[in-house]
Copies of this chain bind each other. A is one copy, B any other.
């Protein structure tokens, strides 16, 4: 059975996010969207700035874990839709690497679910990130 794929090669485009939002205008039971976006931050380390993050994953296991996170969220909150996209490969500073899009009838459940989902994505999914510094050296984030 083919597992659903939540990974996008490289950055997630703001235009894509706008299109995803527009795509939900036909769902008339939705009253609230909660969206979380992870953006690559120019942290400083030993006087050097981060220029990009390279994401790698155990993709098959990660996709299963994300499907589980979705199932758990639908079981816990009355959600209408839940879409998750995560970058793999190189994403530069200022670009977006994570897009969590929760839609529900009402605001409370959309925001509560989003917080839980973002925490779960951070801790329970087999993804790793390597900061690529301005001098091309690398730093694994753990």
Number of A interface residues, CB 8 Å?
Answer: 40
Residues of chain B contacted by A17 (CB below 8 angstroms): 17-18, 21
A107 touching B42 by the CB < 8 A rule? no
A31 touching B35 by the CB < 8 A rule? no
A29 within 8 A of B: yes
What is the distance, in angstroms, from A14's C-beta to the closest C-beta of chain B? 4
Binds B, one of A54-62, A65-73, A90-98, A125-133: A90-98
What is the distance, in angstroms, from A45's C-beta to the closest C-beta of chain B? 14
A4 within 8 A of B: no
**Oligomeric state, in copies:** 2
Beyond A25-B94, A34-B36, is A41–B107 a contact (Cβ under 8 Å)? no
Within 8 A of B (CB), among A29-63: 29-42
B39 touching A31 by the CB < 8 A rule? yes
A79 within 8 A of B: no
Closest to A36 in B: B34
Which are the 6 A-B pairs with shortest beta-carbon distances?
A18-B18, A28-B42, A14-B22, A31-B41, A25-B94, A35-B35
